Structures are given as C-alpha cells and as structure tokens.
Chain A
Amino acid sequence: MRILVADDDALFHIVANAVLVGDGYEVIHARDGLEALNLYQEHKPDLVLTDYQMPGLNGIELCRSVKALDPQRFIPMVMLTGEEKSQVLRESLDAGFVEFLTKPVTPDELRLRVRSLFELILLHKDLALAKSESDEEMLITKHILHRLVEPGLRTLPSHIHMETLHTQRINGDACAYQQGLPGIHFGLLCDATGHGLAAGVSTIPAIQAFLGMVSRDIPLEMIYREINVKLRKILPSGRFVCLMLTRLDLHRGTLSVLNAGLPDALFLTPKGTARRFASRNLPAGVLDQVEKPVVEEVALSGGERLLAFTDGLQDFLGAEAAYRILAEGVAKVPFRVHKFIIQECLNLAIHNHEQHDDVSWALWEVPRPEFVKLPIQSNLHCSLQALQCPSPTLRSTPFAFELCFDPRSHPLRQVLPDCLRLLGNHGVPSAATQTLAMALTEATTNALDHGLLGMESTLKQEGFEVYDTVRKERLAAHEVGTLTLRLQLHRCSSGSICSLGVEVEDTGPGFDWRAWEQRQAAEDTMVSGRGLVILRSIASEMSFNESGNCLRFSLPCG
C-alpha cells in the first residue's frame, strides 16, 4: 500500500515517515501541491494525505486535480488542517475529501485513521472486483441468450412482434419465436425466478427445449412437460420459470395458449370482444410431475390481436393500463402503430429508470384470411413448377410425381412446402393442406430419423434436446443416403380429387416396424413413436414393406 503525503511542513513528513513506514506502508513525500500532483501521476498511490495550505496548489485544488485525472478510481483523500473554519470544511467535502485530521496530529491518531481508511480501500477493491465479475457474467449471459433466440426473432413475420428489454441487470426474462410447419407460428415468453446470472441461466434450457420441439409441431402441453422436466432436473429448490407458450395455426384458424405463471394475456377481436388467457398452470420447475396441462384454444376469423407480457410490464405500466392501450386500438389502430405505442412507453420507462425488472412482451395479430399465404421458398421451386400440367383440359388425367433427394442438401423443411404448393396448384383443396403437411412431415421425418440416421426413439426419454443434438451430429457426420417421396393424386369419377397416395422410401437398412407395433400395444406412446401414431390416425391403408424402408399410405383430400 502506497501513501502520498503532501505538506510544506517538514516536521509532519518526519512524523508520517516514522509512523507509516513502521507500519509497513510505502510513503512518498511532496513539499508542495504541484510536486504532489506529479508524484500522484507517477506512483498512483492508494491514499493521499494533504495539507490545506501549500505553495503551487492548495489541498482542495490538488484534490480536484486528482479526481479529474482519475474520475473512475477510488482514491480516498485526507485533509490535514489547522483551520477549523466551516467554509474550509464545506469546500473540502465538496471537492471529495473523505476525512480530516487536525494538526498537530498525534502518531496514534494518524496510525488509526490510516488503518481504518485502508480497510475501506480493501472493501472498495473487493466490491469493484465483484462488480466487474458480475458485469462480465451479465455480458456473457446476454450474449448466450441473444445467440439462442436471435435466429428465430430475425424471422418474425410482420404481424408478430416479440422482444425482451433488459434493464441494467438481467432478471431472467426471455422470449423466443419459431415458425413450425408453414402457416404455424410458435411463441415463448419466460421469466425465471430471481436476478442475475442464475436467472438468465435458468431460461436457457426452456428456450432450447422450445426451439427443438416446435420445429416438429409437438403439442404445447408436451413442450411444457419437457421444459418442466428439464428445469426440475437442473434447478435448485425454489427456482422456477414462469412461461407462456403460444401457437397460431393459420390453416385451422386457431390460437392456442398455455399460460404457466405469467399475467393474463389479452385477446381482442376487431369487434371489441375481449378474452383473457389467465395462468392455469404451475410455473415450470416447481413439481416433478405436473398435472394435466391446461391449454386454451380460440377460433379465429382474422384481425384479432393478442398482447402478452411478463410481470415486468405489469410493474411499470400496470396490466390494466396495457390492456386499455390494446382495447382502444384494435379496430382503429394499425398493428405497427400499436406496437410503436407500447414500445415507446417501455423505452420511456427504462430511460427514466422507472423500470426495475426486465420486460418481455409479445403482440400478435392474426392476418385476415386474404393475406394468409404459405411462406414457401426453396431451390427446388423452379424444377417442381415445370411439372405442372400444360393445359387445364388435361387436369382430369392422373397426376403423379417422384422426388428423390438428399436430406442434408435439401432439408425437409424446404422440400415439403414445395410439395404442398405443387399439390395445391393441382387441385388439392387448401383445407386439406394442414393434414397433408402433418402426414408428410411425420412420414419423411420417420424415414430420415429411423431409416437413414438410425435414431432410437428411446433416446427421447433423455429429453428432446439430447435427441436433437444426436440427430444433428449424425446428419453432419457422413453421407446418410437418400429419401424418395412418391405422390399420386386420385380422382373420383366426378373428376374431383378424393385422395392422395403417398410412398416414402429411404435407402437405409430398414425400420423395425414390427418392434414398433409391439411397443404401441404395450407402452405409453406419448413420447416415442408418436409420429406414426398420428399418421395412422389420419391416414388409411398404412403399411410398410417387408424390409421396413418403404412406407405407404393414403390420405383423403376431398
């Protein structure tokens, strides 16, 4: 520890040297204010003892100069003075002195005062170190959360807005968005218990489970159960995550909400009818086994809006005020204006430091039917278009096509929308699209996962995230083979399309469908083998070939 002593009184230097060097401090001596300032810059002492009256700079000027040089540094300064005028004391405090010593100073008084100041310095250093570590942890947590949710949020369609506004600390809020099958949108808002790194880290497994499962259109209640199991496994007692899962299905025209511990979400129609989605489930991570989750569903006709938020918004805006903003606007205020109003209110509150908790919020609008289009983009688009019938007069003729592809270069999420679009162009009614999408997804995913990648369904019992990780590793590791999708439209005698014949073949060693059938008879089918169960419920004439690498079924389209 280094102490700078600035005084034009040689006697005080002698006393200070004897006491402080004896106590193990390093002492630097300055005879006037300017010399003191130079020595300060050169040696950066931990403590400065300075006389009030000195040649060059007086004590107050020296203090102000030091503080101006190092505004961020904690450097306690002690004024040595024979003056006891209140004006000097006031000026000294104003300049930043923390202590006063009245001359003549006794050795004991000097020793005790310096010792107590060094305890303060050490405490301050500990605090500064803890703050810097905490700031670093905050930055890392923010970075991880951002990297996790940013790819999904970047693809938000224009009728959906979701964001998390962090205060200076992290308080465990996050939001995520992912499109599932075409026309199906999933959202997650979550708010973990507590503050800081622990709260931020708690949301990560929830987001990972959500992102991994919605791409396969897993029902909301299963996503909630999965998040609950994951959090229960890793979080200590008393830590939990409040969350809301949302699924907007533009094909069936439904909105589903699972609220587990978040404030009411408000749903309003253009005619002003209001409905609230209140919390009906325990937050995730509270109990090992959750009771049957409550998912509420509402039928849509277009133009409805949903406002949902974590309790951060409630703290600052008040839930009822937020509802009023929405209620007054649905019929008259465009979506983007609505979004802007809420955003501005939040930014203002955060700017004015009224907001102490994070805020995550979501504003969803259901597009009117005429604006609902399947978002289809793919490299295969052009070649498939070429297969269209040349003339409307030929549309009553049989229509079939075969598509052979490597799922690594042409992922299912790109190929299937193209197939659906092609079928739509050839007379398959749009009402059947959702069922077709689900059936083709389940059949091709089954062929890829179990036929080509050799994935074991039992792996899902370790969690969908584990399953997904292994799946990605196998997809990336080596050549996996190809999938062949054969589709044929069947027409009734009247000429209208009545069914679609589907064949999905893979080049793998074959799926053990007999073992699967035995498992279905014996076990709970909710986690493994669920895809084929769904398929069997919507398809007819479903069968595998002997070797198990070709699945055939028929789907009604009329």
Chain B
Amino acid sequence: MMLTLHREPSASLIRLEGNFTFESHTAFRSATQELLDDPGTEQITLDLSGLHYMDSSSLGMLLVLREKTEEKGIKVVLIKPSPAVMGILKIVQFGKLFEIRED
C-alpha cells in the first residue's frame, strides 16, 4: 500500500492507495502517530479513493486509531471510498463509528 501524508495545521490528510492489509501496519501506525503527537491536530482525514481492498486487520487499525483519537478529542473522517471498499465498510457497519463521506 502507498501512503501519502499531507500535513495541514489542524486537519491533515492521509491518502491510502492499493491494498490496505496487515503488511501496511507499520507505515499506517507511524503516519497516524505523527499526527496524534501533534497537539494542533483536530481532524484526520483518510482519503480512501485509491484503495482497492481492506482486510480485517486494516479495519482493526482504524478501530485502534479511533480509540486513540477519541482520547485526544480528534475527529477521524473517511472520504471517497471506492464501491468495493464502501461495501466492506457497510458490512462491518463502520458508518456507526466513523463519519464516511462518499462523494
């Protein structure tokens, strides 16, 4: 998976491309940790438009991120999932946990 971090003063964006699986664990954790450590971060947006697939481990990574951001009052937004990825997010009902913007 390719991961690109676009830093903004308060709302940063992480663009994910390819297949988001267990192998992406270290890259995802270090990118998100950088934003979590920044006291100015108010929102983290994950751009999923380039993702083809997410496995259950990557869904778990989103849950861990959610727990950490909740502690710090940071909002997580998932944007532009492809139909395949949106299908996965729907099955696990992640719309109940995250704000998902499909457009």
Contact = CB atoms under 8 A, between A and B. Distances in A.
Q: Answer yes or no: do A and B interact.
A: yes
A192 B64 CA distance: 16
B98 to A, nearest CB: 12
A262 interface: yes
Interface string A168-192: 0000100000000000000000011
Interface in B51-93: 56-57, 59-61, 63-64, 67, 90-93
Given A191-B56, A286-B97, A242 B92 contact: yes
Contact of B92 (A195, A239, A279, A287): A279
A261 B92 contact: yes
A282 interface: yes
B96 interface: yes
Contact of A261 (B57, B67, B93, B97): B93
A224 to B, nearest CB: 13
B96 A282 contact: yes
Contacts of A279: 90-93
Contacts, number: 54
Contact of A194 (B56, B63, B64, B93): B56
Contacts of A282: 92-93, 96-97
B60 A240 contact: yes
A238 to B, nearest CB: 3
Q: Determine the interface band of chain A, counting residues with CB < 8 A from chain B.
A: 20 to 34
A237 interface: yes
Q: Determine the interface band of chain B, counting residues with CB < 8 A from chain A.
A: 10 to 19
A407 interface: no
Contacts of A192: 56
Given A194-B60, A242-B92, 19 more contacts: A192-B56, A194-B22, A195-B22, A237-B63, A237-B64, A237-B67, A238-B64, A260-B93, A262-B91, A263-B91, A278-B90, A278-B91, A279-B92, A280-B93, A281-B93, A282-B93, A283-B92, A286-B63, A311-B91
Interface of B: 22, 56-57, 59-61, 63-64, 67, 90-93, 96-97
Interface of A: 172, 191-195, 237-240, 242, 260-263, 278-283, 286-287, 291, 311
27 contacts: A172-B56, A192-B56, A193-B56, A193-B59, A194-B22, A237-B63, A237-B67, A238-B60, A238-B61, A238-B64, A240-B56, A240-B59, A240-B60, A240-B63, A242-B91, A260-B93, A261-B92, A261-B93, A279-B91, A280-B93, A282-B93, A282-B96, A282-B97, A283-B92, A283-B93, A291-B96, A311-B91
